[in-house]
C-alpha cells in the first residue's frame, strides 16, 4: 500500500512540474505578445500625432502611404490580437486543465484519505486481533508450554543433580580403585623385582659358592701339599742334618776311639795286636746298626706325623663338604620359599587384574550413566532453545506489527505532505492565473 501511494505521489509531482513548465512558457509567450501589441499601439499613436502635426499638403501627399501603413499596422494588430486571443484560449484551457487536475488531485486525495482511514481501521483491527490472539490463543498455549517446559526442566535438573551426585560418587570410587590398583601394581612390580633380584642373587651366590668352594679346595689342597712338601723337606733336611750330625758325632767318636785305642795301643802293643783283627769290626757294625735303628725310628715317627696331618686334612675337607651341603640346602630352601612367594604374588596379581577388569566394567557403566546425563543435559538445552525460539517468535511478531504501524504512519504522513503540496501548488497556480488574466485584461 505504501509503495503504491509513493508511486502516485511521484506521478502527481511530475504532472504538476509539467503543468508549471507549460504555464511558464505560455506566460512568457503572452507577455511577448502583449509587449508587441503595446509597441504597435504606440506606433499608431505616433502616426496619428504625426498626421495631426504635419501640414495638410504633406498629409495629402503621404496620406495614401500612411493609410496603407495604418492598414498594414491594423493587419499586424489584428494578427497580433489573434494569437493573444489564442493565448487567452490556451490560458482558459490551462485553467480548465488545472481545475481538472485539482479535481483529480482532490479525488486522489480523498481516495488516499479513504485508504488511510482503511489502513487505520486495518491497523486497529490487526491490533485488536493481535491483542485477542495474544490474550486468547497464544498466551495460554505459551504459558502452558512454558509451565510444562519449566516442570520438565526442573525434573531434569533434579535428575541431573542426582546423576551428578552418583557420578561424583563413582568418580571417587574410580579414583580410589585406581589408587588401589596403582599401589597393587606397584607392589607387584616391587615383588617381581625383588624376586628377580633374589633369583639373580641365588644364582650369583651359587656360582660364587662353587667358585669359592673350588678355589678354597684348590687353595687348601695347594696349601696342604705345599705344607706337606715343606714339612717333608724340613723333616728330610732335619733328618739329613741329624744323620750328618750323627755321622759327624760317630766320626768324632770314632776318631776319639781311634785316638784312645791308639794311645792304649801305644801303651799296650800286645792288646793292639789281639783286638785289631775282630773287635774293631764288631764295634763298627754295632754302631752302624744302632744308627740305622735310630734313623728308621725317626722315619717312622715322621710317617706317623704325615698320616696324622693327612687325616686332619681329610677331616677338614669333610667338614667343608658338610658345610657346603648345609649352605646348599639352606639356599635351596630359600629358593623354594621365594618360588612359593612368587606363586602367591602371581595369584594376587591375577586377583588384582580381575578386580581391575571389574572396575573397568564399572567405569564403563559409570560412563554410560554419564552419557545419559549428557543426553538429559542436551534435552534440557533443547527445551531451553525451544523456549528461546518461542520468545523470539513473539518478539518478531511484535516487531513486525510495530514496523507495519510505522509504515502506515509514514504513508499517512507522506499523503498529508502530498496534500499540502498540491494545495500550495493549486493556490500558487490560481494566483498566477488571476495575475495573468488581470495583465491580459489591462493590456487589452
Q: Cα(16)–Cα(367) distance, rounded to whole angstroms?
A: 81
The whole-number pLDDT of residue 289 equals 66
Position 416 scores a pLDDT of 75
pTM higher than 0.95, yes or no?
no
pLDDT tens for each residue of the chain, 444 residues long: 556 655 665 666 666 666 666 666 666 665 665 565 555 555 555 555 554 544 444 444 444 554 455 445 445 444 444 444 455 566 566 666 666 766 666 666 666 666 666 666 766 666 666 566 555 555 566 666 667 766 766 666 676 677 667 667 766 766 776 677 677 667 767 766 776 776 677 677 667 766 766 667 667 666 766 666 666 567 656 666 665 676 666 667 666 666 665 666 566 555 555 555 455 556 656 766 676 677 667 767 766 776 777 677 677 767 777 876 787 787 778 778 877 877 787 787 778 778 877 877 777 766 666 667 677 777 767 777 777 777 787 778 777 777 777 777 777 777 777 777 777 777 777 777 777 777 777 765
Q: Do residues 31 and 5 lie in contact, with contact meaning Cβ atoms separated by under 8 Å?
A: no
Check residue 110 and give its pLDDT. Answer: 66
Task: Kindly provide the b/e burial profile for residues 351-376, where b requires at least 16 CB atoms within 10 angstroms of the residue's own CB.
Answer: ebeeebeebeeebeebeeebeebeeb
Amino acid at each position: 500500500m505504501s509503495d503504491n501511494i509513493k508511486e502516485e505521489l511521484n506521478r502527481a509531482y511530475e504532472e504538476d512540474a509539467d503543468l508549471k513548465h507549460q504555464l511558464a512558457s505560455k506566460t512568457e509567450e503572452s507577455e511577448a505578445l502583449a509587449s508587441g501589441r503595446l509597441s504597435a499601439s504606440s506606433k499608431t499613436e505616433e502616426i496619428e500625432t504625426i498626421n495631426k502635426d504635419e501640414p495638410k499638403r504633406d498629409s495629402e501627399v503621404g496620406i495614401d502611404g500612411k493609410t496603407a501603413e495604418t492598414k498594414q499596422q491594423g493587419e499586424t494588430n489584428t494578427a497580433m490580437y489573434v494569437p493573444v486571443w489564442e493565448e487567452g484560449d490556451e490560458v482558459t484551457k490551462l485553467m480548465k486543465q488545472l481545475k481538472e487536475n485539482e479535481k483529480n488531485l482532490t479525488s486522489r486525495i480523498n481516495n488516499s484519505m479513504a485508504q488511510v482511514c482503511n489502513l487505520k481501521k486495518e491497523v486497529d483491527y490487526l491490533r485488536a486481533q493481535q491483542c485477542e490472539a495474544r490474550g486468547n490463543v497464544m498466551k495460554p498455549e505459551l504459558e502452558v508450554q512454558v509451565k510444562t517446559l519449566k516442570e520438565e526442566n526442573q525434573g531434569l535438573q533434579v535428575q541431573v543433580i542426582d546423576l551428578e551426585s552418583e557420578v561424583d560418587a563413582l568418580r571417587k570410587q574410580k579414583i580410589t580403585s585406581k589408587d588401589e590398583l596403582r599401589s597393587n601394581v606397584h607392589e607387584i612390580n616391587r615383588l617381581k623385582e625383588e624376586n628377580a633380584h633374589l633369583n639373580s642373587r641365588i644364582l650369583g651366590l651359587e656360582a660364587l659358592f662353587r667358585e669359592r668352594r673350588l678355589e678354597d679346595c684348590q687353595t687348601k689342597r695347594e696349601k696342604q701339599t705345599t705344607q706337606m712338601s715343606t714339612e717333608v723337606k724340613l723333616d728330610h733336611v732335619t733328618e739329613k742334618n741329624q744323620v750328618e750330625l750323627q755321622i759327624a758325632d760317630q766320626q768324632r767318636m770314632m776318631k776319639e776311639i781311634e785316638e784312645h785305642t791308639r794311645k792304649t795301643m801305644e801303651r799296650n802293643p800286645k792288646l793292639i795286636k789281639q783286638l785289631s783283627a775282630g773287635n774293631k769290626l764288631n764295634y763298627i757294625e754295632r754302631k752302624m746298626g744302632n744308627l740305622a735303628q735310630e734313623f728308621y725310628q725317626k722315619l717312622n715317627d715322621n710317617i706317623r706325623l704325615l698320616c696324622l696331618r693327612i687325616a686332619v686334612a681329610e677331616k677338614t675337607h669333610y667338614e667343608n663338604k658338610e658345610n657346603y651341603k648345609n649352605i646348599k640346602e639352606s639356599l635351596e630352601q630359600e629358593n623354594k620359599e621365594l618360588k612359593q612367594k612368587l606363586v602367591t604374588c602371581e595369584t594376587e596379581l591375577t586377583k588384582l587384574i580381575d578386580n581391575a577388569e571389574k572396575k573397568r566394567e564399572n567405569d564403563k557403566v559409570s560412563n554410560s550413566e554419564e552419557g545419559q546425563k549428557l543426553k538429559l543435559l542436551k534435552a534440557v538445552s533443547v527445551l531451553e532453545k525451544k523456549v528461546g525460539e518461542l520468545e523470539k517468535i513473539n518478539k518478531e511478531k511484535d516487531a513486525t506489527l510495530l514496523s507495519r504501524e510505522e509504515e502506515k504512519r509514514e504513508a499517512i504522513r507522506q499523503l498529508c505532505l502530498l496534500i499540502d503540496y498540491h494545495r500550495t501548488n493549486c493556490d500558487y497556480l490560481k494566483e498566477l492565473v488571476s495575475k495573468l488574466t488581470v495583465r491580459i485584461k489591462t493590456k487589452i
